[in-house]
Structure 1
Amino acid sequence: MACSTDNMFLIGLFMSGVLACFGQRHLITTMPEKLDVLSGSCVQIPCAFDVPQDCSTFNSTIITSGVWIKESPYFGGRLNIVIFNSSKTYNTYQGKITGNMSWKDCTTVFFNVTSSYTNICFFRIESRPFNATDPEKSVHIVVRDLPLRPNITVSGEMKEERPVSFNCSATAPCPKHSPKLTWTLPTLFTPENQLQENSDQTKSVLSMVTFTASHLHHEKNITCTAVYPVGTSNKTAEHSMTLLFSPKNTSASLSPADPVSVGSCVNLTCSSTANPPVTNFTWFQISGGKPTQVASGQTYTINVTVGDGGMYYCEARDDHSIENSMKVPLAIEAWVNSLFGTVHTNQATAEEEPAEDQPE
């Protein structure tokens, strides 16, 4: 009777473990969603796994095999979907689990990648009596003949005589054969390449250059080239961008510039140098000591009235910043007949001065 009771106790423990795992993921893996790989190179898949504590049939002290299957997480004994098994000598995908499975690190490297390696892959562990596949996590391996172009980003605002930094990054799916980044710049630099780890544990190479922008760099290109070693040859990809500068040398002019009479016509013109050219111009009149917006456009035509006299300036704006012109005076002739004769007065004869930058 005692033996029967012990058996019932063991059966109860087993059933409680099964019920605890029922409806849950028996295996939880962590890996990147997608990897872009170069044909002829290798690919490293960062991988980690965990087994819920309730699934007590897993024993980490038992030798565990790592298995990669393609297309579907539902194994069901279908050997034709197995692409790699760490316990086998020969596999469809030649590779190696470089992570320590005892520490639940299933990081894997596949060698000599071909176009046939393009697939959605799931990870499975086999550790008798525990076998499980994570059905909710996979990695999409995409094999390309040519590498993706590197990515260039700019740190800081592009303004003349101010240092600006350019960062270039390129994916490194095969860290042992990571790409080398080189720059084509308007000035000489020898930047360093750094291998870094991304948030999903994949690798990329980063290079940064910093130089002081000048009007001499107007319309110059900056290029970052990634050179990937593949076998005995190289594969390259590049990314170029044109240097863009904020408005500069913004000026306002009047025609005619001499004092004018009421009823006459005056043309105000705003000019600025920038790359790309400025297309957004705004005109302001100083009225009561404060600027008031009076028009938009590179030119502004006034049919002069008495109230139009005063100081004017223009604002040049692009996607990067704003620059204001110097103030220019619009003077109006006023003839006053009086008992003492004719008196000539000029409005707005103040000296030219730069307009204060206005808040956006």
Structure 2
Amino acid sequence: MRSNFSLLVRKADHVFKTSSTAIPFLISHASPPVVAQDGWAVNYNSKSVCTLKGSALTMECTYTPPSGHSVQKAFWTKELVTSGSEPPDLLDDPEYRGRVQYLGDDHRDCTLRFKTVTEKDQSKYYFTFITDKPGGNYQGADGVDLSVTDLQVEVPERVIEGDNVSLTCKTSCSLTVRPTFNWYRNGSSLSSSNDSLHLQSVSSDNKDRYHCGLLGQNSPEVTLNVRYGPKSVSVSISPSGEIVEGSSVNLTCSSDANPPVQNYTWFKGASSVGKGETYTMNNISSVDSGEYKCRSSNEHGQKLSEALTLNVLYPPKNISVSVSPSGKIVEGSSVTLTCSSDSVSPVEYHWFKGTSSVGKGETYMMKKISSVNRGEYKCRSSNKHGEKLSEALTLNVLCEYIHVFVEYPSNIM
């Protein structure tokens, strides 16, 4: 893209020294451009140019020496003449050598071309020419102010899941040429060609990389920092495996959220039992068995986990013995003793009369009971976590009634 830059010269009192003589150096301060005194002129189209770092730039200008003057030297410089010294030629500067080319001529064209613009090129530039006549040394004093920018993608400070989001391709100065932008997602080109890219209803799963491009230059890639409420809330237990009464247990709540979860609340059934990412139960007992849930929350919402069922294992409790039928036990009848206990683990039962083992199983049956079966009976309930003996049940066996019929002789009467 070629642009015209204009600024006029008029006579001034500044001089610079050549190798042998001092001759006046005329500086223009005219704005807007007008024809300078005696026909001297340097014309820039604009006082400022904004271009991309890494791009090529052509700064066109024209100049007019007065009639009868032959231009001996024409060059660009970064130095505004304020003394009698000749300013340095830009092409002699090592920073510019090989990257900058003077495309002008010795009578009208003063075009300067940058093959590749760098950040260090940001400066003000002045065109200067020297003729063969005394006092024929002139500079377009307003110069061209070159600003160098790069591309950046501007992302909204807060992006919440479900929002419509606009990404903007930004420069630090307003580009001189009207640009056509290119947008890319994960390296693939998108259809948008202006400075904004519009995204509909963004998701927390959006991990895409975006960048914009212009005139062969590309911005750094950006990703969206999408904020959202807790997801995938779950509860884990430590230690894993069987939980035995008397041990310690940690329940840990985990979730996916941005920003991270700020509050955790624990529930057993419908009752709140604690707060924090971890809920610890020391010296756990059977009353701690039940369903536990964790509720995670941040500024964008809250979510409840699925229930974790906690089964606390323990030795048998509440051992008792019952007798059937109830009531009086008479010799010759049948009796069943039943042992019951509280246990979540499989239980074995042993029966004792006094200190002697008399049977196994949940029930102990005695048929045609007799007086020898009288005594105290106990049941021992056991599982792999321990055992317990019931209280004694005393069994009293009653004798059958003996019906005696006495027949007296009739003569006794």
Give your verdict on TM over 0.5: no
More helix by share: 1
With normalisation by structure 1, the TM-score equals: 0.42
Give the structure, 1 or 2, with the largest relative contact order (CA under 8 Å, sep 6 or more): 1
Over alpha carbons, which structure has the higher Rg?
2
With normalisation by structure 2, the TM-score equals: 0.38
